[in-house]
Amino acid sequence: MTAVQPRRSTAGAVYAVLALLGLLAALTGCGGVAHKPARPAADTAVQQLLDRQAAAVRQHDQRAFLAGVDPRSTRFLADQRRMFGNLAQVPLADWSYRLVRTGAFPLPPAAAADGTRRTGAQVELRYRLRGYDAQPVVSTSYLTLTQRAGRWYVAADDEGASAGLRSAVQLWDQGKVTVVRGARSLVLGLGDTKTLRGYAADADEAVPQVQHAWGRAGWPGTVVIEAPRTLGQLGELLAANPADYQGIAAVTTGELGGSAQAPADRVIVNPAAFGELSAFGRQVVLTHETTHVATRSATSAHTPLWLSEGFADWVAYRDAGRTAPEIAPELAKDVTAGHLPATLPADADFRPTSTALAQAYEGGWLACRMIADQWSPAQLTALYRAAAAGTPLDTLLHSTLHVSLADFTSRWRTYVQQELA
């Protein structure tokens, strides 16, 4: 399953917020050259603080990092000390902060009468994992900053919540991260090493299956997995209600319509649901999610979910050696009871809370399987790539498969009936 995170801000989560600064600039000189206004001195000082904090992370210098935390914020200081230790094994290629703006949320005045100044700041974290991320993961935090005796400190990361602004949660905020490296995968997890090695082994098997179906171009041929310990932690990483993901084994966070500059994807495992799966089921789930990583740059908001989710399932089940009723049991029950779906699954059917979620996935899989069977796998892939452009589905089907939407739907209904009855 894919959790599309419009760069929050992931899943999630965790991605970019763009700020437009200096839109109004004075024109000087006969050439009409625009000059941005000078950055306020306080903002420059805050950015310098953030730069020092980032350098301390990159250099594994805990003392320097904690020197930038307000010593009077004892609870936050303890949290930051733990967080820094939790990062120890994470193979960082880069880590940086960018001040988006100060005054991002209201704060009560400082209680102390010592001239302490406080401001709420919106800050963007960008980090890359060595050997895996061509582009960074980008996330937004809302920090409380204090200035005392001319020096700025970071004092809290939760006071923006009163204004509805919550800092993104990363895995190392939740506990000590254990790192397991596979041949084609990297697993960052809070669980036991044996379980994390199992995730890496499944992901290593998934990558060549995806390359066989989709190709090698446009993605790195590796996958990064994050494994929290609990469902609640999964919800924190996705900035979502954990109950909505209770029965979902894994989620891919990413940015639709990705380009070479799109932030990195992550597959986030729900340990409870994933742990209940058979070996076959676990392999299917990670192959499905790895397919989302591979197809991200060719997927947009225009891509129907029956196609993106169905394609991922088609890749995962392609060489499974299972019958259609075994793979699509819920839809098979409906068909046996005389309830043949009238239309292709709608995007709303793929919401985690949908009562028709299983049938939506199964119907999408059968639609993609039918295209591969009755046309070809190459035409299925071509249809997928073409769908990102936003061409109306009827026109798209005419140009790629030479059928109308009505004809395609009719053929799909017949195929579903034949395969599942």
Task: Give residue-wise pLDDT tens across range 51-87.
Answer: 999 999 999 999 999 999 999 999 999 999 999 999 9
Domain boundaries along the sequence of the chain: 2-17+39-170, 302-421
Predicted confidence at residue 256, as pLDDT, reads 62
Q: What is the DSSP letter of 352?
A: T
Cβ atoms of 237 and 169 within 8 Å: the answer is yes
Name the more confident of 421 and 370.
370
Task: Give residue-wise pLDDT tens across range 240-273.
Answer: 999 999 989 999 987 665 455 556 789 999 999 9
User: CA 415 to CA 358: how far, in whole Å?
Assistant: 18
User: CA 11 to CA 15: how far, in whole Å?
Assistant: 9
Q: State how far the alpha carbon of 138 is from the alpha carbons of 17, 161, 366, in Å.
A: 9, 20, 36
Write the CB contacts of 375 (distance below 8 Å, at least 6 apart in sequence): 401
Q: What's the predicted TM-score (pTM) here?
A: 0.85
Most confident residue range from 8-12, 219-223, 402-406: 402-406
Predicted confidence at residue 261, as pLDDT, reads 56
For 2-17+39-170, CATH number?
3.10.450.50
Q: Which two tokens stand for residue 271?
A: 């340990």
Predicted confidence at residue 23, as pLDDT, reads 24
Q: What is the average per-residue pLDDT within 101-127?
A: 86
- Mean pLDDT of all residues in the chain? 89
∠ at Cα 401 (400, 402), nearest 5°?
Answer: 100
Task: Say whether pLDDT at 25 is over 90.
Answer: no
Place of tokens 């009723």: 325
Q: Which two tokens stand for residue 284?
A: 């299917």
Burial 267-305 (b: 16+ CB within 10 A, else e): bbbbbebbeeeeeeebbbbbbbbbbbbbbbbbbeeebbb
